[in-house]
């Protein structure tokens, strides 16, 4: 009997590890790909073969050629991309790849719209999804923006992840230097009002070919690194009907297909305001899977042509922790060390899942250390960890 076989890309990501474990536990043959060998996911017991491919960022055409030839050889039932660059490349070359395997992705032009934070905000405004006050240099002279905004403001790159490149500007005297620095590093940015946040609420949505809701899930971000604003370190599953509605309307408005994570910040009044859309799988994916919404496997079944009923019931109040290394980094930054250490040491809560730690699959923990060493000795990758927030 032939075993189902999938390729999961971007083994450095916690979402890759969650996806690999999901398929591996179901008896799939799983191959793990990345442009570096010592990535954390490749150490999973469920990985049958490690794949090292050309850099999708530096060598995009070589990457696609490699993936096509690999797929011809391995005959994957499906390729599951995880991070932005691979997701975009596979979508752009979807027609070629679909000759040899299955994908479940939105069209390239649709994906690109959500990759651009400025374009995302404009789409949200067109369908009455609330957003922070946002200013665009293409619509208003930058000197006029500088004078009319209420400080503080955030100057944000249009394309970035993990809160990288964001600058907090407290007065007009700081504006020009911050603006020019981001423009030089990331291209023309956008300017947004600074929100005194009371929390975050995030929706994770899967739509099928006809834009039907197949799975929806929400979680609240309890801890983040950096503490000023960054990826989820500790999250708790929730059931936020309002942001599910906003998110589904937003996705449907541009003909979405596949998975997406939609992030909202809550202001002083508890009102959700859209921050961004991640048109791909998200880091705390394991929270959704363990709470009862197995997005990767659901998406696989859609790609195989199965008709599915929507998945809406899952465990609320279920906790996720990214212990290594980000909860440790969070602990180093938090001013309240006593309660922080007490919470950190609580590993006996059965209502908790982890980004990496697993008794059944322990070796990715060692993979974290090897991957971290690789990042620490590579200046480009080191900046990805430490140059976040503001």
CATH superfamily, domain 133-193, is ATP-grasp fold, A domain (3.30.1490.20)
pLDDT at residue 271, as a whole number? 97
Tell me how far apart the alpha carbons of residues 11 and 39 are, in angstroms, rounded to a whole number. 6
Looking at residues 356-385, what average pLDDT do you find?
A: 83
Q: Is 17 exposed, middle or buried (0-12, 13-18, 19+ CB in 10 A)?
A: buried
Which pLDDT score, from 0 to 100, does residue 376 have?
78
Q: In the chain, what are the domain boundaries?
A: 5-103, 133-193, 199-364
Digit-coded pLDDT (tens) for 267-318: 999 999 999 999 999 999 999 999 999 999 999 999 999 999 999 899 999 9
pLDDT band, very low/low/confident/very high, at 3 (cuts 50, 70, 90): confident
Query: Cα(200)–Cα(221) distance, rounded to whole angstroms?
Result: 5
Q: Which fold has domain 5-103?
A: Rossmann fold (3.40.50)
Segment 341-353 shows an average pLDDT of: 95
At 103-137, the pLDDT tens digits run 999 999 999 999 999 999 999 999 999 999 999 99
Residues 199-364, CATH architecture: 2-Layer Sandwich (3.30)
- Higher-confidence position of 388 and 54: 54
Give Cα 37 to chain centroid, integer Å: 22
Domains 5-103 and 133-193 share a fold: no
* 187: region left, alpha or beta (phi > 0 left; psi from -120 to 50 alpha): left
CB atoms closer than 10 angstroms to residue 269: 6
């Amino acid at each position: 009997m032939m075993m189902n076989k999938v390729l999961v890309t971007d083994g450095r990501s916690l979402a890759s590890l969650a996806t690999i474990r999901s398929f591996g536990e179901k008896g799939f043959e799983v191959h793990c790909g990345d442009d570096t060998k010592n990535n954390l996911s490749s150490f999973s017991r469920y990985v049958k073969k490690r794949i090292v491919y050309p850099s999708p960022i530096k060598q995009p055409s070589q990457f696609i050629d490699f993936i096509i030839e690999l797929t011809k050889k391995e005959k994957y039932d499906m390729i599951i991309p995880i991070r932005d660059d691979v997701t975009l490349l596979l979508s752009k070359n979807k027609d070629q790849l679909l000759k040899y395997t299955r994908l479940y992705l939105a069209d390239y032009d649709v994906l690109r719209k959500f990759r651009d934070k400025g374009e995302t905000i404009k789409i949200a405004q067109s369908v009455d999804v609330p957003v922070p006050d946002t200013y665009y240099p293409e619509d208003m002279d930058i000197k006029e923006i500088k004078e009319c905004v209420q400080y503080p403001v955030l100057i944000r790159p249009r394309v970035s992840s993990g809160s990288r490149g964001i600058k907090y500007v407290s007065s007009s005297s700081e504006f020009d230097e911050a603006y020019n620095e981001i423009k030089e590093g990331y291209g023309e940015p956008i300017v947004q009002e600074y929100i005194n946040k009371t929390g975050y609420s995030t929706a994770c949505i899967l739509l099928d070919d006809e834009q039907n809701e197949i799975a929806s899930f929400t979680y609240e971000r309890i801890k983040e690194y950096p503490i000023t604003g960054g990826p989820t370190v500790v999250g708790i599953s929730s059931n936020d009907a309002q942001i599910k509605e906003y998110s589904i309307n937003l996705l449907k408005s541009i003909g979405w297909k596949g998975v997406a994570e939609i992030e909202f910040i809550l202001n002083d009044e508890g009102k959700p305001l859209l921050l961004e859309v991640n048109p791909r799988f998200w880091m705390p994916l394991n929270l959704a899977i363990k709470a009862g919404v197995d997005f990767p496997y659901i998406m696989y079944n859609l790609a195989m042509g199965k008709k599915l009923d929507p998945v809406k019931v899952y465990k609320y109040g279920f906790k996720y922790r990214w212990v290594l290394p980000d909860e440790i980094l969070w602990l180093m930054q938090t001013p309240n060390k006593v309660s922080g250490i007490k919470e950190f040491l609580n590993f006996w809560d059965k209502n908790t899942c982890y980004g990496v730690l697993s008794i059944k699959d322990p070796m990715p923990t060692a993979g974290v250390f090897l991957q971290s060493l690789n990042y620490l000795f590579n200046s480009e990758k080191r900046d990805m960890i430490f140059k976040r927030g503001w």
